[in-house]
A and B are shown apart, each in its own frame.
Chain A
Amino acid sequence: EAGVAQSPRYKIIEKRQSVAFWCNPISGHATLYWYQQILGQGPKLLIQFQNNGVVDDSQLPKDRFSAERLKGVDSTLKIQPAKLEDSAVYLCASSLDEAGGLKTQYFGPGTRLLVL
């Protein structure tokens, strides 16, 4: 079974530039998550999709971050304009509904972003 795919793996941009990350979840996984992981910290949820609808985006900085999952499969996360503090690893995860509604998450390799 193919895992969660993410691209690019690495990106370096200057502040105020725009950047986009792509994620393709495991086939059949209805739920997709984007996390931000700053160096030395645990992952922080940015947004959660159920199919193509947003379930939770309470921690997404909506003035500069946006995400979409138009067809309920792959997803794009965009930052516009980027700030120095956006330097982090952006992780995508997907999950399948299990008994009782639990969702075990499976993570992609991440995109490492450096903003100069």
Chain B
Amino acid sequence: AQSVTQLDSQVPVFEEAPVELRCNYSSSVSVYLFWYVQYPNQGLQLLLKYLSGSTLVKGINGFEAEFNKSQTSFHLRKPSVHISDTAEYFCAVSVWTGTYKYIFGTGTRLKVLA
């Protein structure tokens, strides 16, 4: 069975510092990988996605993620965070089960401190 693990439930970081949000997945078949951001009282917004090709994927708002097949990871990074990056971040995988099914992690709450 497929699963997504986000080990860090909360990550506090000072403004302008770098951040990494970790995501590991488990799957016996090929997956597509996504990161979504959810601001308070809003729906999920797509940050970036990995389909194939280059393992380093750049997304919106200065975020990027690197796919590592051997470690089954897809960590999200940003070199310098802003207060406005405070939000919940969800990693998700999409796997083929007769149709493409999404499985979400439990989320990481990023808190950017002034």
Contact = CB atoms under 8 A, between A and B. Distances in A.
Interface of A: 4, 6, 33, 40-45, 48, 50, 55-56, 91, 93, 100-110, 112
Contact of A48 (B34, B43, B45, B99): B99
> Chain A's interface: helix, strand, loop or mixed, by majority?
strand
Interface residues of B, number: 24
Given A56-B99, A101-B100, A109 B106 contact: no
Contact of A45 (B34, B43, B44, B101): B101
Nearest to B90: A42
Contact of B102 (A45, A50, A100): A45
Contacts of B99: 48, 50, 55-56
A108 B94 CA distance: 19
